[in-house]
Structure 1
Amino acid sequence: MSLITIRALGVTLSTPLFANLNLSVAAGDRIGLVAANGRGKSTLLKCITGAFEPTTGEIFRARGLTVGHMEQDLPAGLEALTFREAVLGALSFEQQDSESWRADVTLEELEVPEALRERPLGQLSGGWQRIALIARVRVGEPDVLLLDEPTNHLDLSKIARLEGWLASLPRDMPVVISSHDRAFLDAVTNRTLFLRPERSQLFALPYSRARAALDAADAAEERRFEKDMKAAQQLRQQAAKLNNIGINSGSDLLVVKTRQLKERAERIEDAAWPAHQERPAGAIRLANRGTHAKVLVTLEDAAVRTPDGTLLFRTGRKFICQGDRIVLLGLNGTGKTRLVRLLRDAIAAAGAGHEGIKATPSLVLGYGDQALSDLSDAETPHGTIIHRFDIGDQRARSLLAGAGLSIEMQGRPVGQLSGGQKARLGMLVLRLTNPNVYLLDEPTNHLDIEGQEALERELTANEASCLIVSHDRAFVRAVANRFWLIEKRRLIEVDGPEAFFAEAALPG
C-alpha cells in the first residue's frame, strides 16, 4: 500500500529541476535520492512535506500520515539549547509536559553519551549537531522519515551508529534519504531514485547496483538514438535520390514516394529521444607539476602532540614517495589533522628539518582542509583568483565558469556560496597552485557524487602524490595505494582500510 504517491511532479526555478516525476513510497521502502548539487533533492523533500509548492503535478499522502523531515542546517536559535533541550523542543508543549521520556529514549537509541546531553549544541562538533537534528526528527515517532544529507560532518563511528540506528527502525517504516555518501547509500537503501530534469530513473536496488543499471540503460538509450538517427538519415538519402529521379522523369508516383519517405524520417526523428547527458555542476581538474625527487617527505619518528603538549602518537620512520596516494586512518581525536598540519608546516619550511619531518626543497604544496579555511568568506571568487594568480580578468572568469561558478556567482562573497560551490572553488585554487604534492583533509566534504568521482579520476590518472584524511569509504577505496593507521600511539602501515572500517563500526 502506498503511503505517499507522487504524480507528474515538476519544479522549475531558473531552469527545470525535475519534471513528470512519478514515485510511490510504500511501507518498508528505503529510498536513496541521488542528484548533483543544486539539482532538486532538497526541493523534492520539501515538496513531500508540503513546505514547497511544485510547479506541476500532485502529491497524495495517506490519511493521518505524519512526516519527519531532517533538513541540512541547524535551525536558528538551537545552538544555545542543550542537546536534550533541543530534542525535547521538537515535541508539542503537551508532550513536553507529559511525555518528556521520549527525548531520553531517542537519545538512548542514537547512543548519545550522557556527558553530551546537557551541553549546548553550539559547543559540540558538526557531527553531534547532525545527530541532534536526526534525534529531533525521530522523537516525534513519524510514520515516514525524510533525511537530507544525514552523514554530513559525521566521522566513521557516527556513520556506523547512524546505519545501525536505521537498521533498528521498524521494518515497515519508509525512509527517503538524500545523500552523496555512496557506501552509506549501499548500506541502508533498497531503492534508488536518480533525479533528473527529464525522465528521472528509479531502480529497486541500492546505489552501486542501481548506478550500474542506470549506466547500462543510458548506454542502451544512446545506441537506440544513434540507430534511429541513422535510419532517418538513410530514409532522407533515399528520398533525395527518388526526388531527383522524379523531377527528371516527371513521375508523380516517385514524388508521392519521396514525400512518404520524408514523413517516415520525420516520425522517427520526432519519436527518437537522445540519451541523458548530465549537465556538469562544474569541472574538477588538478595539476601535477612533477619533481625529480623520489622521496618527497621523510618522517624520523616525529612526535605528534596536542596544543598543550600531550603526546598523541609517534610516526616511526616513514617516507612519502613520488606517486604515493596515502590515506591516513584513525579514530577521531587520534591526531590525523595534527599530522597533516605538521607536514604542511614542514613543507613550507623550504627543506629545513621541522619536528622530525624533513621535506624535499623542491616541493610545491597543494593544501586543502575540511573547513576550506584557505578561502576568505569576505572575498569574491573572482577576487580570490586574480589576487592570488597572475592570469588576468578574462582567464579568471573563464576558469571560474568552468568550475561551475556563473558570472553572477563570481561577484558574490565566498561566504554566500553553497558548500558544493565553495568546494569547487577550492579545487580550482589547488589546480592553479600547480603543486607536486597534496595534503587533503576531508576533500570530498560538500562534493556531490559527480565531484567525488572527478576528484578520484584526477588523483589517480595524474599519479598525484598525496596524503589524504577522509571518512568517505568509497573515495578511500578508489584512490589510495598506501594506508597509514594511527593505533596505540604509533603510526603503522597496513595493507588496506577494511579492518579499520570494521573496527570504527563497533559500538564504543
Structure 2
Amino acid sequence: MALITLRNLGVTLSGPVISNLNLTVGAGDRVGIVAPNGRGKSTLLNCIAGRLDPTVGEVTRSRGLRVGYVEQNVPIALMELPFADVVRQVLSAEQAASESWRADVVLDGLDVPEVLRQRPLSQLSGGWQRLALLARVWVTDPDVLLLDEPTNHLDIAKIARLEDWLNALPRDVPVLICSHDRAFLDATTNRTLFLRLEQSQVFSLPYNRAREALEQADASDERRYHRDMKAAQQLRRQAAKLNNIGVNSGSDLLTVKTKQLKQRADRLEDAARPGFLERSAGAIRLANRGVNAKVLIALDDASVETSDGTLLFKSGKQWICQGDRIVLLGKNGAGKSRFVEMIRRAIIGQNGVPEAIRLTPSLVLGHSDQNLSSLADDDTPLAAITRLFELGEQRARTLLAGAGIGVDMQSRAIGRLSGGQKARLAMLVLRLQAPNFYLLDEPTNHLDIDGQEALEDELLTQEASCLLVSHDRSFVRAIGNRFWVIEKRRLVEVDGPEEFFASAVGQMA
C-alpha cells in the first residue's frame, strides 16, 4: 500500500526545478534521492513534507500520516538550548509531564553521552547538532522519516552509528534520504531515485547497483537519441527536396507531404529529451605544475599539540614523496586538522613551526580547509578571482561560469552562495594556484556525487601529490595510495583504511 504518491509533480521557483515526477513510497521503502547540487532534492522533501506546494501535479499522503523532516541546518533559535531540551521541546505539555522518558529513549538510542545532553548546541560539534535535529524529529514518533544530508559534519564513527540506527528502525517505517555519501546510501537504502529535471529514474536497488543500472539506461537512451536525431535529419532533408520540387511544380500534394515530414521530424526531436545529457552543477579541474624532488616533506618526530601545549601525537620519521596520496585517519579530536594546519604553516613560512618539518624548496601549496575559510563571505567570486590571479574580467567570468558560478552569482557575496557553489569556487582557486602539493581537509564537504567523482578523477589524472583528511569512505578508498592513522599518540602507517573503518564502527557498538 502506498503511503505517499507523487503524480506528475513539477516545481518552478526562479526556473523549473522538478518536472513530471512520479513516485510511490510504501512501507519498508528506504529511498536514496540523488542529484547534483541545486537540482531540487531539498525542494522535493519540502513538497513531500507539505511545507511547499508543487507548481503542478500533486502529493497524496495516506490519511493521518505523520511526516518527520530532518532538515540540513539548525535553526538559530535552538542554538542556545541544551541538547536534551531541544529534543523535549517538541513534546506536548501532556507528554512532557508524563512521558519525558521518550526523549531519554531516543537519546540513548543515538548514544548521546550524558555529559553532552545539558550543553547548548552552540557548544557542540556540527555532527552532534545534526543528531540533535534527528532526535528532535524522531521523538514525535513519525510514520515517515525524511533526512536531508544527514551525514554532513559526522565523523566515521557517528556515520556508522547512524547507519545502525536507521537499519534498526521498524521495517514498516519508510525513510527518504537526500545524500551525497555513496557508502552511506549503499548501507541504508533499497531504492534509488535519480532526480532529474527531465526523466527522473527510479531503481529498486541501493546506490552503486542503481548507478550501474542508470548508466545502462542512459547508454540505451543515448543510442536511441542519436538514432532519432539521425532519422529527424533525414526527414528534414526529404522535406527540403520535396519542397523544392513542389515549388517548381506547383503541386499542392507535395506541399502537404513536406509539411507532414517536418511534423514527424518535430515529434521525434521533441520526444527525445536526452536525460543522459544532464550535467553536474559545475566542472572541477585541478593542475599540477610538477616538481623534480622525490621527497617533498620530511617529518622527524614532529609534535602536534593543542593550543595549551598538550601533546596530541608525534609523527615519528615519515616522508611525503612525489605521487603520494596520503589519507590521514583518526578519531575526532586526535589532531588531524591541527596536523594539516601545522604542515600548511610550514609551507607558507609562518613562525613557530617545528624544525622537525623539512620541505623541498620548490614546494607550491594548494590548500583547502573544511570550512573553506580562505573565501571571505563578504567578498564576491569575481573580485576574489581577479584579485588573487592576473586575469582579465572576461577570462575570470568564463572560468567562474565553467565552475558553476553563473553570471548572476559572480558579483554576489560569497556568503550567499550554496555550499556546493562555494566548494566549486574553492576548487577553482586551487586550480589557478597551479600547486605541486595539495593539502585537503574534508574536500568533499558540500560536493555532490558528480563533484566528488570529478575531484577523484582530477587528483588521479594529474598524478597529484596530496595529504588529505576525509570522512567520506568512498572517496578515501578511491584516492588513497598511502594511509596514516593516529593511534596511541603516534602516527602509524597502515596498509589500507578498512581496519580503521571497522574500528570506528566498533567504537559505537
Tell me the TM-score normalised to structure 1 length: 0.95
Q: Which residue of 2 aligns with 1:81?
A: 81
Identify if the C-alpha distance between structure 1 residues 339 and 256 changes in structure 2 by more than 3 Å, giving closer, same or farther: closer
What does 1:373-412 align with in structure 2 at a 5 Å threshold? 373-412=373-412
Secondary structure of the equivalent of 2:76? coil
| In structure 2, distance between residues paired with 1:276 and 1:503 | 40
Q: Which residue of 2 aligns with 1:195?
A: 195
The CA deviation at 1:5 is: 1.0
Q: Kindly report the root-mean-square deviation, in angstroms, between the aligned alpha carbons of the 2 structures.
A: 2.3
Q: Which residue of 1 aligns with 2:284?
A: 284
What does 1:175-186 align with in structure 2 at a 5 Å threshold? 175-186=175-186
Counterpart check, 1:69 vs 2:69: yes
Counterpart check, 1:467 vs 2:467: yes
Secondary structure of the equivalent of 2:493? strand
Q: Which residue of 1 aligns with 2:297?
A: 297
What does 1:10-409 align with in structure 2 at a 5 Å threshold? 10-237=10-237, 265-349=265-349, 354-409=354-409
| In structure 2, distance between residues paired with 1:302 and 1:308 | 17
| In structure 1, distance between residues paired with 2:252 and 2:373 | 76
Assess if the C-alpha contact under 8 Å between 2:198 and 2:275 holds in 1: no
Assess if the C-alpha contact under 8 Å between 2:192 and 2:207 holds in 1: yes
The CA deviation at 1:26 is: 0.4
Secondary structure of the equivalent of 2:161? helix
The CA deviation at 1:263 is: 5.8
The CA deviation at 1:350 is: 8.9
| In structure 1, distance between residues paired with 2:102 and 2:42 | 28
| In structure 1, distance between residues paired with 2:263 and 2:49 | 47
State how many pairs are aligned. 508
Stretch moving more, 272-281 or 16-25: 272-281
Identify if the C-alpha distance between structure 1 residues 17 and 357 changes in structure 2 by more than 3 Å, giving closer, same or farther: same
Stretch moving more, 245-254 or 269-278: 245-254
Secondary structure of the equivalent of 1:504? helix
| In structure 2, distance between residues paired with 1:402 and 1:77 | 38
Secondary structure of the equivalent of 2:18? strand
| In structure 2, distance between residues paired with 1:47 and 1:252 | 53
Secondary structure of the equivalent of 1:68? strand
| In structure 2, distance between residues paired with 1:323 and 1:310 | 33
Q: What letter is aligned with 2:306?
A: T
For structure 2, list consecutive stretches of 5 or more residues without a partner in the other structure. none
Q: What letter is aligned with 2:503?
A: E
Q: What letter is aligned with 2:399?
A: L
| In structure 2, distance between residues paired with 1:249 and 1:384 | 65
The CA deviation at 1:441 is: 0.3
Q: Deviations over 1:257-293 (max 9, x none)?
A: 7777666555544544434322431221111111111
Q: Which residue of 1 aligns with 2:491?
A: 491
Q: Which residue of 1 aligns with 2:9?
A: 9
The CA deviation at 1:448 is: 1.0
Stretch moving more, 116-125 or 267-276: 267-276
Identify if the C-alpha distance between structure 1 residues 363 and 129 changes in structure 2 by more than 3 Å, giving closer, same or farther: same
The CA deviation at 1:296 is: 0.5
| In structure 1, distance between residues paired with 2:21 and 2:423 | 30
| In structure 1, distance between residues paired with 2:501 and 2:203 | 28
| In structure 2, distance between residues paired with 1:422 and 1:192 | 27
The CA deviation at 1:232 is: 3.5
The CA deviation at 1:37 is: 1.1
| In structure 1, distance between residues paired with 2:242 and 2:430 | 60
Q: Which residue of 2 aligns with 1:482?
A: 482
| In structure 2, distance between residues paired with 1:490 and 1:170 | 42
Assess if the C-alpha contact under 8 Å between 1:296 and 1:319 holds in 2: yes
Identify if the C-alpha distance between structure 1 residues 236 and 108 changes in structure 2 by more than 3 Å, giving closer, same or farther: same
| In structure 1, distance between residues paired with 2:307 and 2:449 | 36
The CA deviation at 1:11 is: 0.2
Secondary structure of the equivalent of 2:177? strand
Q: Deviations over 1:12-49 (max 9, x none)?
A: 11221111111111000000011111111111111111
Secondary structure of the equivalent of 2:276? coil
Secondary structure of the equivalent of 1:385? helix
Q: What letter is aligned with 2:132?
A: A
Assess if the C-alpha contact under 8 Å between 2:148 and 2:178 holds in 1: yes
Secondary structure of the equivalent of 1:111? coil
| In structure 2, distance between residues paired with 1:351 and 1:129 | 35
Identify if the C-alpha distance between structure 1 residues 343 and 259 changes in structure 2 by more than 3 Å, giving closer, same or farther: closer
Q: Deviations over 1:226-268 (max 9, x none)?
A: 1122233344555666777889999999888777766655554
Identify if the C-alpha distance between structure 1 residues 386 and 235 changes in structure 2 by more than 3 Å, giving closer, same or farther: closer
| In structure 1, distance between residues paired with 2:252 and 2:154 | 75
The CA deviation at 1:327 is: 0.6
The CA deviation at 1:355 is: 3.6
Q: What letter is aligned with 1:484?
A: W
The CA deviation at 1:398 is: 2.1
Q: Deviations over 1:110-143 (max 9, x none)?
A: 0101111111111000010011010001011110
| In structure 1, distance between residues paired with 2:32 and 2:441 | 27
| In structure 2, distance between residues paired with 1:437 and 1:477 | 20
Q: What letter is aligned with 1:426?
A: A
| Fraction of identical pairs, as percent | 68
The CA deviation at 1:485 is: 1.3
| In structure 2, distance between residues paired with 1:266 and 1:380 | 43
| In structure 2, distance between residues paired with 1:285 and 1:155 | 27
Q: What letter is aligned with 1:32?
A: G
Identify if the C-alpha distance between structure 1 residues 386 and 256 changes in structure 2 by more than 3 Å, giving closer, same or farther: closer
Stretch moving more, 83-92 or 150-159: 83-92
Q: Deviations over 1:40-88 (max 9, x none)?
A: 1111111111111110011111111101111111112211111100100
Assess if the C-alpha contact under 8 Å between 2:4 and 2:62 holds in 1: yes
| In structure 2, distance between residues paired with 1:16 and 1:259 | 32
| In structure 2, distance between residues paired with 1:63 and 1:257 | 55
| In structure 2, distance between residues paired with 1:202 and 1:350 | 52
Q: What letter is aligned with 1:103?
A: A
Stretch moving more, 72-81 or 225-234: 225-234
Secondary structure of the equivalent of 2:22? strand
Assess if the C-alpha contact under 8 Å between 1:350 and 1:361 holds in 2: no
Identify if the C-alpha distance between structure 1 residues 316 and 507 changes in structure 2 by more than 3 Å, giving closer, same or farther: closer
Q: What letter is aligned with 1:163?
A: E
